[in-house]
Chains A and B, each alone.
Chain A
Amino acid sequence: MTIPQARQLGRPLMNLVKFKGTPILQQLRLEERLLRNSSDNWCIINDGTNIPAIVMGLSGKPSELLEIRSVLRDQIPVVRRFTGGGTVIVDHGTIFVTLICNREAVPTVQPYPRSIMQWSSLLYNEVFQGIGDFKLRENDYVFGNHKFGGNAQSITKDRWIHHTSFLWEYEARNMAYLKLPTRAPEYRLVRNHMDFLCGMKDYLPRSAFISKTVEAIENHFLTKPVIMDIDAVTSGTDYVHTTKLLSEQELEEAYARELSGEIPVSNLMI
């Protein structure tokens, strides 16, 4: 279908890329490139990531957010991503859904965080119609008052990205790598990770979530499946990424500062 034909249908074109088990660092670097260097709309779905990894937002500080000694001991990769927001630990039980849009593709949405977040909740309302007590609560997707989806965004002059990590299921022991964040949503109260989070697996099959998400996106966009060699796309040195894998040295230096009393010690609650 040509672009003029698609526009006649009233829906903008969106490239749809599906991965399974792609490393989260590679996924984020791809997303950053597509946001900055592409003029197309994109939906990326990564069904699980290959190994557990910690992902912090742009301003995340390891000493405030992580149990660094355990992270170093167990050699858990720590990624600082280009979008805002909080810290998550992701693994094979996490499903990632990303939307990268031209501002003009969704003209009713202002390029500001709350407007984009609100629009996204309408999309996911369609996905979770009749399933659980789904809502957007502050900036999280919840069933009732249990969080199962965390969101983050990056907004440029003419484009924006909204990406979500959905907890299909999670390993309780992995949560031990994360401190209780000092900046937390009000509805969290003082709940620890186990009391605050829930997994989607109690609500719908994994494949159903992905197919319903694609259906909801197709209500707003004309999707075009794209097969992508992510290694080829992300291997070039032409683009300097903001998304970075923290080195062991950086983590050790952060831990040393914490031990010297520069940073408050653990406030871990499990």
Chain B
Amino acid sequence: MASRLWASRAASYLRISTTFNRSFSTVLKDLKYADSHEWVKVEGSSATVGITDHAQDHLGDVVYVELPEVGAAVTQGGSFGAVESVKATSDINSPVSGKVVEVNEVLSDSPGLVNGSPYENGWIIKVELSNADELKSLMDADKYSKFCEEEDAKH
């Protein structure tokens, strides 16, 4: 058990997808994470938001992404859009508060990018932050990895 934990921490530090065991999803070091499985990458007063590898793996093949309008307000923990996979629509919740300045229009034709590239080409919205202090309440990569392991272990 200890060596598995070490392996997953090493892998996430090195940004390696530990595909030998699907229970350990990819987690990137320089992102922040919400407990509803969204990630945020902050650059100054701007943030990019998407869903994590853990989320896309559990959701299944995404066939549709409902995007918000540019200019819409988002609040931390509030839903701003949805993904459709299998037979379900699942809310996407914002890890930060602010205003939507860009949406990833490519997802309208290629929703599968959320599965194939959840942290890169599958980004969902860009936000102008209204309260950088909110980032303190989010998890870092190590804490989020542990959170995912605990969630999966419960079920």
B-side interface mostly? strand
**A59, A112, A154, most chain B CB atoms within 10 A:** A112
Known: A110-B151, A114-B60. A153 touches B87 (CB 8 A): yes
> Measured between alpha carbons, how far is A129 from B32 in the docked complex, in Å?
47
The yes or no answer to B66 lying at the interface (CB within 8 A) is yes
Known: A58-B64, A115-B155, A157-B77. A110 touches B58 (CB 8 A): yes
> Measured between alpha carbons, how far is A93 from B132 in the docked complex, in Å?
55
Chain B residues with CB below 8 A from A83, complex form? 87-89
Interface digits, A17-37 against B, CB 8 Å rule (1 contact, 0 not)? 000000000000000000000
Do A151 and B63 touch (CB < 8 A)? Answer: no
Chain B residues with CB below 8 A from A84, complex form? 64, 84-89
Interface digits, B67-96 against A, CB 8 Å rule (1 contact, 0 not)? 000000000010100101111111101000
Do B86 and A114 touch (CB < 8 A)? Answer: yes
Selected from B58, B77, B89, the residue in CB contact (under 8 A) with A153 is: B89
Task: Give chain A interface residues in 38-64, CB to chain B under 8 Å.
Answer: 57-59
- CB within 8 Å: A-B pair count: 77
- Find the A residue at minimum CB distance from B155: A110
> In the complex, what's the smallest C-beta–C-beta distance from A63 to chain B, in angstroms?
16
> Measured between alpha carbons, how far is A137 from B153 in the docked complex, in Å?
26
The yes or no answer to A117 lying at the interface (CB within 8 A) is yes
A-side interface mostly? loop
The yes or no answer to A183 lying at the interface (CB within 8 A) is yes
The yes or no answer to A108 lying at the interface (CB within 8 A) is yes
The yes or no answer to B59 lying at the interface (CB within 8 A) is yes
Chain B residues with CB below 8 A from A156, complex form? 79, 91
The yes or no answer to B117 lying at the interface (CB within 8 A) is no
Do A57 and B155 touch (CB < 8 A)? Answer: no
- Find the B residue at minimum CB distance from A150: B87
> Measured between alpha carbons, how far is A59 from B82 in the docked complex, in Å?
11
> Measured between alpha carbons, how far is A155 from B90 in the docked complex, in Å?
5
> Measured between alpha carbons, how far is A110 from B150 in the docked complex, in Å?
12
> Measured between alpha carbons, how far is A84 from B90 in the docked complex, in Å?
9
The yes or no answer to A139 lying at the interface (CB within 8 A) is yes
Do B77 and A59 touch (CB < 8 A)? Answer: no
Interface digits, A129-171 against B, CB 8 Å rule (1 contact, 0 not)? 0000000000100000000000111111100000000000000
**A58, A84, A155, most chain B CB atoms within 10 A:** A84
> Measured between alpha carbons, how far is A111 from B152 in the docked complex, in Å?
11
> Measured between alpha carbons, how far is A59 from B85 in the docked complex, in Å?
10
> In the complex, what's the smallest C-beta–C-beta distance from A101 to chain B, in angstroms?
14
The yes or no answer to A199 lying at the interface (CB within 8 A) is no
Chain B residues with CB below 8 A from A114, complex form? 58, 60, 86
> Measured between alpha carbons, how far is A250 from B90 in the docked complex, in Å?
26
Chain B residues with CB below 8 A from A82, complex form? 89
The yes or no answer to B121 lying at the interface (CB within 8 A) is no
The yes or no answer to B36 lying at the interface (CB within 8 A) is yes
Selected from B58, B89, B93, the residue in CB contact (under 8 A) with A58 is: B89
Do A157 and B79 touch (CB < 8 A)? Answer: yes
> Measured between alpha carbons, how far is A36 from B141 in the docked complex, in Å?
31
Interface digits, B47-69 against A, CB 8 Å rule (1 contact, 0 not)? 00000000000111001101000
Selected from A59, A108, A117, the residue in CB contact (under 8 A) with B86 is: A117
Do A113 and B86 touch (CB < 8 A)? Answer: yes
Selected from A86, A107, A109, A153, the residue in CB contact (under 8 A) with B88 is: A153
The yes or no answer to A77 lying at the interface (CB within 8 A) is no
Chain A residues with CB below 8 A from B90, complex form? 111-113, 154-155
Do B91 and A59 touch (CB < 8 A)? Answer: no
Do B87 and A183 touch (CB < 8 A)? Answer: no
Name 8 A/B residue pairs within 8 A (Cβ), A-sorted.
Answer: A58-B82, A84-B64, A84-B84, A86-B87, A112-B90, A113-B88, A114-B58, A155-B88
For the complex with contacts A151-B87, A152-B87, 4 further pairs of A-B residues with Cβ separation under 8 Å are A84-B89, A85-B88, A152-B88, A156-B79
